[in-house]
């Protein structure tokens, strides 16, 4: 029976240790608000993809992209996320440049939470910040 050369055994051991060491220390715990942020980012991608040169004006305008952005679509359809339909969208290069609210978690006006701005920024706001922030479009 022939044995593997020492360098192959050492290389295999190194790869095994490296692989185990790179598994990180993620305990599976989510960061508070992370899921809401991800859903609003999905909504942003859905709205920007569906725009086709003009802002979506109703849920039906988003239907053909539902499969690509299922969490965002479901959140809008269920009412968990409120969209201000017809609000002009901005490109990523316009982040921070006169952005307006285009969508928000339904509890934001009363309790605060995450909002989606027109260039795709997701931001946490208090009820007072939300009420003072620029908005356009219709619910």
Mean pLDDT per 10-residue segment, the chain (139 residues): 47 44 50 85 91 84 93 96 90 67 96 92 95 79
Contact 133, 100 (CB under 8 A): yes
| Within-domain flag for 21 | no
The total of structural domains in the chain comes to 1
| Within-domain flag for 92 | yes
| Within-domain flag for 122 | yes
Host domain of residue 128: 34-132
Half-sphere exposure of 113 (CA within 13 A, CB side): 19
| Within-domain flag for 117 | yes
Q: pLDDT value at position 77?
A: 96
| Within-domain flag for 62 | yes
pTM summary value: 0.73
| Within-domain flag for 27 | no
């Amino acid at each position: 029976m022939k044995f593997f050369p020492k360098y192959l055994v050492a290389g295999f051991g190194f790869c095994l240790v490296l692989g185990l060491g790179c598994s990180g220390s993620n305990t599976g715990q989510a960061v508070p608000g992370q899921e809401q942020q991800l859903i609003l980012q999905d909504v942003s991608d859905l709205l920007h993809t569906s725009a086709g040169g003009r802002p979506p004006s109703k849920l039906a305008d988003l239907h053909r992209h539902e499969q690509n952005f299922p969490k965002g679509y479901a959140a809008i359809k269920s009412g968990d996320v409120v969209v201000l339909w017809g609000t002009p969208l901005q490109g990523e290069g316009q982040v921070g440049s006169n952005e307006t609210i285009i969508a928000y978690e339904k509890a934001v006006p009363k309790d605060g939470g995450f909002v989606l701005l027109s260039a795709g920024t997701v931001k946490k706001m208090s009820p007072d910040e939300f009420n003072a922030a620029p908005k356009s479009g219709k619910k």
